Amino acid sequence: MMTEEQIIARLEAVRLDKPPAPKPKPVVTVASDRKLSVDGQRERVSREMQELIESEKNRQLCIETHRERQRRQRAEGLYYRQLYESVTTAEYWSRQRDNDPARRGEYSPIARFEREIKDGAR
């Protein structure tokens, strides 16, 4: 919370009868002779060339990074697809094995023999 002195100081700071603070004058700079000279232009061109070379290196690095990321993601996708296929195959064969009547305790060799004879007779 503001104290009474702070409130009064704030109100006095924005009084309308007080003239506004003078605005700072803009500083005008003249292009130096160095900028206009041949040496200055050479330095500017060489600096810009170095910046372009550096940006091209960064661009190539980004392209390579992107390619590496794509390769890694492709490899991960292949790994997870193979993992999924192996798990589903294992589950399938596990169900097939567990569905066997012998595993459920319902195996009867005599019933199997009779079934084979009946199927063979057809």
Give tens-digit pLDDT for 52-61: 999 998 888 8
What's the DSSP call for residue 105? T
pTM of the model: 0.34
Residue with tokens 């661009």: 59
Domain ranges of the chain: 43-122
Extract long-range pairs of 52-59: CB within 8 Å, 24+ residues apart. none
User: What's the pLDDT tens digit per position in 60-98?
Assistant: 888 888 888 888 889 889 999 999 999 999 988 888 777
Neighbours of 87 (CB within 10 A): 10
Contacts of 35 (CB under 8 A, 6+ apart): 41, 44
